[in-house]
């Protein structure tokens, strides 16, 4: 502020100078050997398996929804608006889940997201085929599209640490891509064989319920994580 004398304290700091400190050590890079423990952990494969189910969903939707719309007797031009609504909902859902992770358990959020998918598919099967129903389906499926990624990442990091997260999530993404292949391939096979997507949707509902069961928070898992954190 104006009017006050200015002084510098840096000369006093010279008395406490002890020379240059030790050079910081670069953190050790994890190797594939470091993955042997996590890859033997049931919790890791539960998280990876649920994300594989997510891949099954999104792979089928990305490739087969234009055909689904036509097989429902709706105009093919609806495919463009469907993708637009799903894309907008995807952005909103991802941001909302990121904010929710500050207060809620990632496993509980994943359970909610997979149950939302199961309910959305069940509603699509029950309701008469119409433009509003199809766009509502796009809204619900889009809201849960990428929203599963942050909670899944947090589950893996919380159980096995952030140091190995890059390598571990590479394995998780491999499972996700295998699920994508399954959704795309099986969706095409069933549609060609029966001319309908009903069987695929029923499989999709069962897989969504299975994914919710895999990531359901368990008291024993929470106790193990707390013990690891206290030991650290």
pLDDT of 95 strictly over 80: yes
Give the model's pLDDT for residue 90: 94
Q: Percent of the chain at pLDDT above 70?
A: 79
DSSP per position, the chain:
-TTSPP---HHHHGGG---PPPPPPPPPPP-GGGGHHHHT-HHHHHHHHHHHHHHHHHHHHHHHHHHHHHHTT--GGGHHHHHHHHHHHHHHHHHHHHHHTTTS-HHHHHHHHHHHHHHHHHHHHHSPP-HHHHHHHHHHHHHTTTTTHHHHHHHHHHHH-STTHHHHHHHHHHHHHHHHHHHHHHHHHHHHHHS-SHHHHHHHHHHHHHHHHHT---HHHHHHHHHHHHH-
Give the model's pLDDT for residue 10: 56
pLDDT digit string, tens, across residues 122-163: 999 999 999 999 999 999 999 999 999 999 999 998 888 888
Give the model's pLDDT for residue 167: 85
Q: Percent of the chain at pLDDT above 90?
A: 66
Give the model's pLDDT for residue 13: 55
pLDDT of 23 strictly over 80: no
Label residue 63 by pLDDT band (50, 70, 90). Answer: very high
């Amino acid at each position: 502020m104006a009017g006050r004398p200015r002084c510098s304290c840096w000369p006093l700091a010279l008395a406490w100078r002890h020379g240059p400190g030790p050079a910081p050590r670069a953190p050790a890079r994890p190797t594939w050997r470091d993955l042997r423990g996590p890859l033997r952990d049931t919790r890791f494969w539960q998280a990876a398996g649920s994300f594989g189910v997510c891949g099954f969903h999104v792979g089928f939707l990305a490739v087969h929804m234009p055909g689904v719309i036509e097989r429902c007797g709706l105009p093919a031009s609806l495919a463009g608006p469907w993708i637009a609504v799903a894309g907008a909902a995807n952005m909103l859902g991802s941001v909302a889940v990121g904010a929710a992770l500050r207060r809620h358990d990632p496993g509980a959020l994943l359970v909610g997201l997979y149950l939302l998918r199961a309910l959305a598919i069940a509603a699509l099967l029950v309701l008469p085929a119409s433009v509003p129903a199809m766009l509502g389906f796009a809204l619900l499926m889009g809201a849960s599209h990428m929203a599963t990624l942050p909670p899944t990442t947090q589950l893996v990091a919380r159980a096995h640490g952030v140091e190995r997260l890059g390598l571990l999530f590479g394995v998780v993404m491999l499972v996700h891509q295998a699920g994508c292949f399954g959704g795309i391939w099986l969706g095409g096979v069933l549609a060609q064989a029966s001319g309908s997507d009903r069987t695929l949707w029923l499989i999709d509902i069962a897989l969504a319920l299975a994914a919710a069961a895999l990531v359901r928070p368990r008291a024993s898992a929470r106790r193990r994580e707390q013990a690891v954190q206290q030991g650290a």
